[in-house]
Structure 1
Amino acid sequence: MSGIISKEVLLSKFKGALVGAVLGDCIGSLFEGLWAKSIQVEKVLQNIGQLESAYDAEKDAKKPEKQHKLLWDYTDDTAMARSVAMSLIENKGLNPSHLAQLFSEEYFANPYRGYGGGIITVFTKLRDTEYSDPYKPASEQFDGAGSYGNGGAMRIVPAPLFAYKQNDVEKLTELVEQITKITHSHPSAVDGAIFQSFAVDQALRGPEEVNIGSFCDELQRRIREREESEVTRDQCTSPSEYPYASIVDDIRKYASQDSLPSEEEISENLGTDISAYRSVPAAVYSFLRATKPIDKLQDRNSFEKTIILAITLGGDTDTIATMAGAIAGACYGIEAIPKSWQAGCEAVDDALKFAEQLHQLSVSD
C-alpha cells in the first residue's frame, strides 16, 4: 500500500470508483447474456464510439455539457448501489431496515431495471412485513440456503468508500456482510462481496502503477483470513476449502501473461455467470490484466481497457463490468474516465454527488 493520499487525490478516487461502476453497468448492459465469441473488441469499440461521437457533436454545437443526450440507462446493479450509498450517507452508517426499505421502494418504483425473480420475492416480503426483520426474507431463500448470486458484490462499492477512514479490515468485512445479507445470505455470495470490497479498498489506497503480484498477494492474504475465520464451509460452491483465496492464483496467472488469454479460458476458469464465485474473480482479473498492453486497445488508458476487456468476456457483462469499473475507477481516479462516457450514461451526476458526500464523511473528524 502507498503512503498518505491527499484529500484531492482521494476525492478523485472516490468519484472514479462510483462513476466507474455506473459506466461499467450502463455500457456492459448492452452485451449482457451474449457468448464471448459474439462480442469482439471492435463491436464494443463501435458502441463506445457512439458515446464519443455524440459527445463531440454536441460539444461542437456548443451545447452546455448538462444537455448531452443520455444514451444508456443503468440496471439493477446501479439501482441497488445507489441505495447503499444513500443509506450510508443519510444514517452515517448502516441501518439495515432503512437500506432494505430503500432497496424495496426503488424496485417497486422502477421495476424495469432487470431484477431477478428471487430478489423480487425478497423485496415483496420486506415490504409486506414493513422491514421489521430485514434479514429474514433473504435467509429463507432456496430452502434456507440463501442466494449465492453476485447481487451483493455488484452493489458494494459504497461500503469500502464509507469505511475508508477506519482503515480496519474487520470493520469493512462486517459492514459488507451486513449489507449483503439483506438480499444474499449464502456464504459464497457474502464472501464474493467481501472479495470485491477488498479489491476496491486496495485500489483506493494503492498507487496508479499497479503491481499485479503485490495486489494479488494482499488480496489473497485478506480473503484467506476471512475464509479461515468462518465456522463452516459446508455450503461452499467450490471444491476448495478456501475458494476465493485459491482462485487468486488463477487471477494472478492469467493477469500476468503477456498474451491475452482467450475469453473461453477465462470463462471456464474464472467464470462469467451470475454467481458471485463465478463472476467477481473475472472482474478483478479484468482490472489487473488491463494494466498490460492489449491488442487493438493501444490508444486506450487502463480504465478504458478494464471496461472493454470485462465486456468481451461475455456472460453477465453488466455486473462484471460494473465491478471491474469500480476497482479501476478507485485506482485511477475520475480524471482517467472519458468525459464522453460520463455524459452519455445515466446517473453519473448522482454518483459524483454521492462520492463527494462519502468523501466528506471519510475526511471529517
Structure 2
Amino acid sequence: MGNSSSHEPKGVVPMKSRFRGAVMGSLYGDCLGERYENMWTEIDVKRVIMYYNDTAKKVREKEAKEKGFVPHTDDSCMMFDLGESLIRNKSYEPRDVMKSFAETHAASKPQRNYGKNAAILLRDVRERNYEGNIYYPAKRQFSGTGSYGNGSAMRVAPVPLFYHGDPVKISNLASEQSRLTHTNPKGVNGAILQALAIEKALNTDNIDDPAQFVEDLYMQLNELTSDKAGLEIYREKCDAVVKLLSSKSLVKAPQYNKEIGSDVTAHRSIPAAIFCFLYTLNPKRIPALSKYNGFLRATILAAAYSHDSDTVGCMAGAIAGAYYGVEALSEEWKFACEKSDEAIKLADGLYELNTTGTGDRNEDPVAENE
C-alpha cells in the first residue's frame, strides 16, 4: 500500500482514556461542527481554527460563565440514548433504545436539528406507544427501501466500547441498532464501518500505513456484514480515500467533496470521516493545522471541509478520540461542550462493563422477528 511518511510518534494510550476519547470525541466533533451545520458548504480551515481558539479563550479568560455553552445536536442525543440503554440493561434491548430515541426527540428543542424523516419515524413509534415490531416503521420509509442516511453511524460510538475486542458482535450490534431507523444496506454498512473504524483505532498504537488501515477496514466490513448488497459503493469510496491519501499535493475541500463526498448519506460521510482522521496523522499535510495535535487536526478538518459538518465531525472525533485518547482534547473545550461530564460518565460506564464482563455481553444482539 505504501508508507505515508512523517506521522507524529504516539506513545501507548491507556484504554480507559481511549474509551473516554471515543465518546468525548464524538460529542466534541458534533459541538464543533454544529456552528456550521446549516451552511452546507466548505468553510475555510482558518475560520474554524479561529472559532476553536476564540471558544477556548472565552473559557480561559472566564468570559464563559456557564459550563456547556457550546450546544450539541441530535447526533449526540442519539449517541447518549444508545449508550445509556446499553449500560442500563447491560445488553441491547431494541424497544428500550427506540423509546429513548423517541422520548428524547419529543423533549428536544428545534435546534437539535433531527432529520425530517427521523422525526417522522420517532413520532410514529411514540404515538403507537412502542407496540408491535419496533423495526417495522423504519423498513417502510422511502417506499420500502429504507434510509441510507448517516444517522445510525453518527450515534454508534458506544457499540465498539460495549463489545470491545469482539468485531463480530460489534458488527452485529451496529447492524441491529441501525435497523431501528436506517434499514437500507448502505445505511447499515455505514454504521458497521464506523463502528469497526473506532474499534480499530482503539486497538492501534501507531498507524504507519494509512492506506492499509483503510483496506483492512473494508475487508473486515466485507467479511462481517450480512448486507452484501450495499458493499460496492463502499469499495468505491474506500478506494477514493486511498487515492486522496496518496496525493502529493494538498487535498482541498472541493476535491474531497467530489471524490468522497460529505453529505448526509452514509456511503459518503463515513469514508469522509475516516479520511479526515487518516489524512491529518501527518502534521505537515495542512500547514494551518501543523501546530495542533492530531485529534484537533482531524476534527477541525472535518468541520471545515464537510457539508454535514457536525456529523462528519462527530464521526471523525470518535475515531480520533479512540486513537489519541481524551487528553488530546483541551480542558477549555471539555468545559465548553454541552454534556461533557455525561460523556465521560458514559465512557466510564461502558469501560466498567467491558472490563468486568457483567451483563449479557456474551450474547449476540438479536432482532425481534420481522
Q: TM-score, normalised by structure 1?
A: 0.89
The 1-side partners of 2:108 and 2:66 are apart by 23
- Aligned-partner Cα distance in 2 for 1:84–1:273: 23
Cα deviation for residue 217 of structure 1 reads: 2.5
Q: Which residue of 2 aligns with 1:11?
A: 16
1:252 aligns with 2:242: yes
Pairs within 5 Å for 1:326-337: 326-337=318-329
Q: Is the CA contact 1:250–1:269 (under 8 Å) kept in the aligned structure 2?
A: yes
Aligned to 2:177: 179
Partner residue of 1:230?
227
Contact preservation (8 Å) 1:224, 1:245 = no
Runs of 5+ consecutive residues of structure 2 not aligned to the other structure: 1-10, 358-370
Q: CA deviation at 1:84?
A: 0.6
Label 1:118 to 1:35 Cα distance change in 2 as closer, same or farther (>3 A): closer
Gaps of 5+ in 1: none
Deviations 1:28-84 (A, max 9, x none): 0111143545x11121011112221112112xx9x9xxx654331000000000001
Contact 1:51 1:71 in 2 (8 A): no
Partner of 2:50: 46
CA distance in 1, matches of 2:83, 2:178: 13
Aligned partners of 2:115 and 2:123: how far apart in 1? 13
Correspondence for 1:213: 211
Check conservation: 1:150, 1:279, Cα contact below 8 A. yes
Residue 319 in structure 1 maps to residue 311 in structure 2: yes
**SS where residue 279 of structure 1 aligns?**
helix
Matched with 2:289 is 297
Q: Is the 8 A contact 1:26 1:73 kept in 2?
A: yes
Contact 1:36/1:264, CA 8 A, preserved across alignment? no
* Deviation by residue 1:228-268 (Cα, 9 ceiling, x = unmatched): x536x2xx5xxxx6221332121122123343212111111
Give distance in 1, aligned partners of 2:211 and 2:250.
17
* 1:107 aligned residue: 105
- Name the structure 1 match of 2:332: 340
Measured in 1, the distance between the counterparts of 2:38 and 2:253 equals: 14
CA 1:359–1:286: 2 relative to 1, 3 Å = same
CA distance in 2, matches of 1:208, 1:333: 13
- What residue in structure 2 maps to residue 71 of structure 1? 69
- 1:117-144 CA deviation, whole Å, 9 max, x = no partner? 1111111121122222210111111111
Report the alpha carbon displacement of residue 213 of structure 1 after superposing the two structures with TM. 2.8
Contact 1:31 1:314 in 2 (8 A): no
Partner of 2:198: 200
What count of residue pairs does the alignment treat as equivalent?
Answer: 343
Which amino acid in the other structure matches residue 14 of structure 2? V
What is the CA–CA distance in structure 1 between the aligned matches of 2:335 and 2:248, rounded to whole Å? 34
86, 95, 120: which one aligns with 2:93 = 95
1:109-128 alignment runs, 5 A limit: 109-112=107-110, 113-128=112-127
- 1:281 pairs with 2:278: no
Identity %: 34
Give SS of 2:281's match: coil
**In the alignment, is the contact (CA less than 8 A) between 2:306 and 2:312 conserved in 1?**
no
Please tell me the residue identity of whatever aligns with 1:50.
Answer: D
Which TM-score applies when normalising by structure 2? Answer: 0.88
- 2:162 alignment partner in structure 1: 162
| Alpha-carbon displacement from aligned partner over 1:185-238 (angstroms, at most 9, x marks no partner) | 1111000011111100100011144531331221121122245x536x2xx5xx
Task: Look up the equivalent residue of 1:253 and give its one-letter code.
Answer: K
Does the residue aligned with 2:148 lie in a helix, a strand or coil?
coil
What amino acid sits opposite 2:346 in the alignment? F
Report how far residue 10 of structure 1 moved: 0.6
- Give, in whole Å, the separation in 2 of the partners of 1:203 and 1:333: 10
Match of 2:353 in 1: 361
**Are the equivalent residues in 2 in contact too, given 1:73–1:345 (CA < 8 A)?**
yes
Task: Give the CA RMSD over aligned residues.
Answer: 1.9
